[in-house]
Amino acid sequence: MSDAVLEKARAWLAQDPDGETRTELREIIERAESGDADAVADLEDRFGARLQFGTAGLRGALGAGSNRMNRVLVAQAAAGLAAYVLEKADPDAAEPPLVVIGYDGRRNSDVFARDSAELFTGAGLRAVILPRKLPTPVLAFAVRELGAAAGVMVTASHNPPDDNGYKVYLGGQDEGAQIVPPADAEISAHIERVAAEGDITSLPRSVAFELAPESLVEAYIAATAAVAPAPAGAEGLTWVYTAMHGVGWETFSRILDVAGYPQPTTVTAQLEPDGTFPTVAFPNPEEPGAMDLAFETAREAGAELIIANDPDADRLAVAVPDESADGGWRRLTGNQVGLLLGWRAARLAADSGDVEGASLACSLVSSPGLEVVARHYGLDFHATLTGFKWISRAPGLVFGYEEALGYLVNPETVRDKDGISAAVALLGMAAEARGRGATVSDLLDEFDATFGFFASDQVSVRVDDLSVIGRIMGALRAEHPSSIGDVEVERVDDLLEGSDGVPPADVLRYTLVDGSRLIVRPSGTEPKVKLYLDARGESAEDAGARVAALAAGVRSLLDELT
């Protein structure tokens, strides 16, 4: 074992304020010192690297060490962020900059939030902590509502149960959006400096932070209820809701009352916050099996619709009855929901007569159908890099989405994806359709009849060795495929060089002669290469066949590369 790793572990142990992780680390050190090979490997994994602070903040498994989420790492992050905020502050301002902190129901979220509040206040900032476990969109709202310089949400969203994270938002000209370069690198440099200085116990702390008033939550509730007040068709709507063991329900249920929607039948086993996520292997509505209890509840209730939030309620999943599907229910894809909500937003903009400069936006890996909607209504369209830190910054934005179940329907209120406001908007569409005897499935058919038939798919390659990702991307760049399956490649865009106003990124986009599209990029959060497939056809069957043929061609290509 490296002496440097052992020295790092002992120094970490000396400053760790958490009894649980101190005990955990002390036992590993003792085993490593006695020659236990597994303990040596464990220490090297924990201290051989450091969780990197980037445009998604911090996210990783809980545990002791610089490569885990814990109170030492969070203290370093909070002190570094405080230094950044103070560095950017107006020196002539009468009041110190404000930072607002939120947290969800994951293990240690409340502890990390309080540590952050104490360190922000100790550094000379004004710190306000949300009054209880609340959804991420409430924190994003609070940054703007309170005029904060920055915001922190302690959450790992839909990650595995043992993970936690630290998401940062900026106020001012960033309008409450998540951080983008160069802010991420500047904050990271401050964090690294704090870590290099050593002992977090020497960082000043203060308990003079404030608790946000309930009126702040009520303001979010009122603004979100106003997204889509219940139309006449809402009366009698039968639907099911699951919070996926997260923090969405308390806030969402209050919004339903204000907006006038009937309360749903709830998946009671998943309704209250529980950081152990006992009924799901992976608390992500996209994952197989995650919505099985919701499907069962919906069958028993004879429901017309299922709505699900992920644990921090920034994502939305929707399912509809489908006799051809296993279990009689089908979860809509993120593209299907995004196109419906984009259609709604475009109609509202057109009806208001306010389309000049208004835009729809989506990540470049989301369906090209949104651009067709925008052009149909005379709106601008923007394709951005993946992530709402980019989507939310699109000029003139009235709606944005990404295919990974994220939707931004109220950019004047929240500059981030918001699964609760998106749920209200979707309920409004479902209720309006119901009022004329139609269903959400009928809305999908109406969309196809109006804008054409789009189909999407995704192929992922999970790797154990991260270098494999670089080899795949490098091989594709060294020799671009001339065809995918039987369809010739017409154009290749390498976004490392930047394209169409999009910042440089490790993304390859292939346009085929039949109009189909393949986009390849490394995942930003998992050890995967993701390949996104889109096709347009003369019918739903034709579009589906085109994307299926494209998927088969992609798998053959991957076999050659791997």
Supply 392's token pair. Answer: 């939310």
Kindly report the three-state secondary structure assignment for every residue of 373-431: HHHHCCCEEEEECCCHHHHCCCCCEEEEEECCCEEECCCCCCCCCCHHHHHHHHHHHHH
In the numeric block, the tokens 């090297």 are attached to: 44
Distance CA 459, CA 44 (A): 33
What are the two backbone dihedrals, phi and then psi, of residue 298, each rounded to the nearest 5 degrees? -65, -40
Handedness of CA 225, 228, 234, 239 (dihedral sign): negative
Catalytic-labelled residue, pool 66, 109, 116, 157: 157
Three-state secondary-structure class, residue 480: coil
253 is a catalytic site residue: no
- Cβ-in-10-Å burial (0-12, 13-18, 19+) of 253 comes to middle
The answer to whether residues 118 and 158 touch, using CB atoms and an 8 Å cutoff, is no
Residue count (the chain) = 562
Handedness of CA 32, 38, 39, 41 (dihedral sign): positive
The answer to whether residues 479 and 375 touch, using CB atoms and an 8 Å cutoff, is no
Distance CA 162, CA 156 (A): 9
Provide the 10 A C-beta neighbour count for residue 529. 23
Nearest one of 515, 542, 519, 361 to 448, comparing CA atoms:
542
Tell me which H or E stretch contains 470: helix 467-478
Q: How does strand 528-537 pair with strand 453-462?
A: antiparallel
CA–chain centroid gap for 155, Å, is 10
Instruction: List, in order, residues 6 or more apart from 534 with CB less than 8 Å away.
Output: 367, 368, 454, 455, 456, 516, 517, 547
Three-state secondary-structure class, residue 511: strand
Instruction: List, in order, residues 6 or more apart from 105 with CB less than 8 Å away.
Output: 133, 245, 246, 247, 273, 274, 275, 311
Amino acid sitting at position 164: N
Distance CA 510, CA 286 (A): 26
- Strands annotated E in 442-526: 453-462, 483-484, 487-494, 508-512, 517-522
Provide the 10 A C-beta neighbour count for residue 22. 17
Provide the Cα torsion 168, 174, 180, 186; round to 10°: -70
Instruction: Fill in the DSSP letter of residue 524.
Output: S
Known catalytic residues?
A: 157
